């Protein structure tokens, strides 16, 4: 079994075996990253494919400082952002003012249990801009200033989209929690 360093060196020499090993080792991880930014699995797979092309052609840019998985994640996130910008004109857009969410009054969902499929579905229901900002801020840990620069938006737009994404998520998770509680209560009565 090859180490990451051997795989990196092999990929830098454009060796197919090393490229296949890199793909086999990291494709599932990177697909998970891409799924957070895509509207569906097919789109995530397109982003993943573009990410691997960039990784294979630019692997010599990995300097060895920092983690290799962090570098791979950054390539995938940047590819997703590029994909988002490239396809932005083809997406249905909601004006931010038209998308009103209702606060549920629930402070947190820490005590709730949601499956990863339920969370993924709820996140995917967010408008594309909200989902992009939410993922970059809450999941990837970027600051609003960095997000604004990456997406070519105003810093206040980033902040407001994040805030609204949280409100929408809170509303949708609140509804899901109520449905799950009703189902559990109905099942317990039988």
Indicate which CATH number applies to the domain containing 8. Answer: 1.10.1740.10
Q: Over the stretch 93-147, which tens digit does the pLDDT of each residue have?
A: 433 333 333 333 333 444 446 777 787 788 888 888 899 899 898 888 889 999 9
14 shares a domain with 73: yes
- Identify whether residues 112 and 172 lie together within a single domain: yes
Where in the sequence is the domain holding 17, given as residue range(s)? 4-90
What are the pLDDT digits (tens) for 138-190? 888 889 999 999 888 999 999 999 999 999 988 888 888 888 777 777 666 65
The pLDDT of residue 128 is 86
Residues 73 and 102 in one domain: no
Q: Are residues 102 and 86 in the same domain?
A: no
Q: What is the mean pLDDT of residues 58-68?
A: 91
First vs last Cα of the chain: how many Å apart? 55
CA distances from 86 to 60, 69, 101, 160 (A): 26, 25, 28, 23
Q: Are residues 39 and 72 in the same domain?
A: yes
Would you state the structure tokens that stand for residue 141, as one six-digit string?
A: 């840990």
CATH number at residue 176: 1.10.10.10
Instruction: Pick the last residue of a domain from 56, 90, 124.
Output: 90
**Total number of domains constituting the chain:** 2
Q: Which of 137, 141, 143, 130 is nearest to 172 (CA)?
A: 130
Query: Do 179 and 102 fall into the same domain?
Result: yes
> DSSP string covering 79-123, please?
HHHHHHHHHGGGS----GGG-----------TT----HHHHHHHH
Task: Give the start-end residues of each E strand in 8-62.
Answer: none
- Which residues contact residue 64 at a Cβ distance below 8 angstroms, ignoring those fewer than 6 apart? none
Please, are residues 44 and 135 in contact by the beta-carbon 8 Å criterion?
Answer: no
Residue linked to tokens 């609003």? 144
Question: From the CB of residue 8, how many other CB atoms can be counted at a distance below 10 Å?
Answer: 18
Is residue 67 over pLDDT 70? Answer: yes
Q: Are residues 16 and 64 in the same domain?
A: yes
- Same domain as 20, residue 72: yes
Give the whole-number percent of the chain exceeding pLDDT 70: 83
């Amino acid at each position: 079994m090859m180490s990451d360093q051997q795989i990196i060196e092999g990929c830098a020499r454009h060796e197919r075996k090393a490229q296949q090993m890199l793909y086999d080792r990291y494709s599932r991880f990177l697909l998970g990253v891409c799924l957070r930014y895509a509207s569906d699995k097919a789109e995530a797979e397109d982003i993943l494919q573009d990410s691997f092309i960039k990784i294979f052609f630019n692997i010599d840019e990995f300097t060895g400082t920092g983690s290799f998985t962090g570098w791979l994640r950054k390539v995938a996130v940047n590819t997703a952002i590029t994909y988002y910008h490239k396809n932005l004109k083809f997406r249905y857009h909601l004006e931010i003012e038209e998308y009103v969410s209702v606060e549920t009054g629930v402070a947190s969902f820490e005590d709730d249990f949601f499956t990863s499929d339920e969370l993924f579905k709820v996140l995917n229901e967010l408008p594309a801009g909200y989902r992009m900002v939410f993922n970059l801020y809450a999941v990837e840990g970027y600051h609003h200033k960095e997000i604004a620069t990456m997406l070519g938006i105003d810093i206040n737009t980033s902040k407001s989209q994040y805030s609204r994404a949280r409100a929408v998520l809170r509303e949708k998770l609140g509804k899901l929690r109520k449905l799950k509680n009703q189902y559990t209560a109905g099942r317990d009565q039988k």
